[in-house]
A = this chain, B = another copy of it.
Amino acid sequence: MLLLTRKTDYALLALASLARQTPAGASARGLAERLKLPLPVLRNILKQLTSRGVLKSTRGTRGGYRLARSPQEITLAQLLEAIEGPMRLARCCSVPEGEEEAECKLEESCLIRGNMRRVHASLMQFLDEVTLAQLAEEDSSAELKPGKGARPTPLVTLKDAQSYPRLVDQPDVRDPS
């Protein structure tokens, strides 16, 4: 059972690289070469991340991509949602926009709906406490500081776990090399 797709792998790698050189940016080609990723694939990913508001792009000769916000303000939950779409644990968990109540025909007869949603909420909370800055942190390769985003994630009462903070634009603070 592999949770993340290859696309997500590539995206996180690229984002981590960009995070380390914030606020400067990098071109798709440069990133692909440095990270040894296939350029066409990476291009599509960067494009998508831009349209979802995670990255900002600049065209032209000295153009490239850079983070739209500081790495500390970007959480793993936001990134996964930007890359793979709204996240659900099971089919009965949180439908994006007030659509029909999940595609689970069992509905009231379902034994585990409520509890599944709680697990889902805990999971989302956890992912929302891991920041891109933490992911991109230099690997001490052994010990690790529990850091700021270290709040627990027990089974909590589910409220509106489906409405997570979306990404919004911020004023441009460009800095080309």
Chain A residues proximal to chain B, CB less than 8 Å:
1-4, 6, 8-9, 12-13, 16-17, 20, 35-36, 76, 80-81, 84-91, 104-106, 109-116, 118-119, 122-123, 126, 129-130, 134-137, 139-144, 146-147, 149-158
Which of chain B's residues have a CB closer than 8 A to the CB of A86?
A: 1
CB distance from A78 to the nearest CB of B (A): 13
Which 3 A-B pairs give the minimum distances between C-beta atoms? Answer: A152-B152, A1-B84, A150-B154
Which of chain B's residues have a CB closer than 8 A to the CB of A149?
A: 154-155
Given contacts A13-B111, A126-B126, A155-B144, contact A85 B118 (CB under 8 A): no
CB distance from A93 to the nearest CB of B (A): 9
Copies of this chain, how many? 2
Interface of A is mostly: loop
A1 & B85 in contact (Cβ 8 Å cutoff)? yes
Given contacts A3-B89, A76-B119, contact A153 B153 (CB under 8 A): yes
A126 & B137 in contact (Cβ 8 Å cutoff)? no
A112 & B12 in contact (Cβ 8 Å cutoff)? yes
B157 & A143 in contact (Cβ 8 Å cutoff)? yes
- Which B residue sits closest to A2, measured CB to CB? B88
Give Cα A116 to B91, complex, Å. 26
Give Cα A143 to B106, complex, Å. 22
B155 & A150 in contact (Cβ 8 Å cutoff)? yes
Residue among B16, B36, B116 making CB contact with A135, cutoff 8 Å? B116
Which of chain B's residues have a CB closer than 8 A to the CB of A136?
A: 111-112, 115
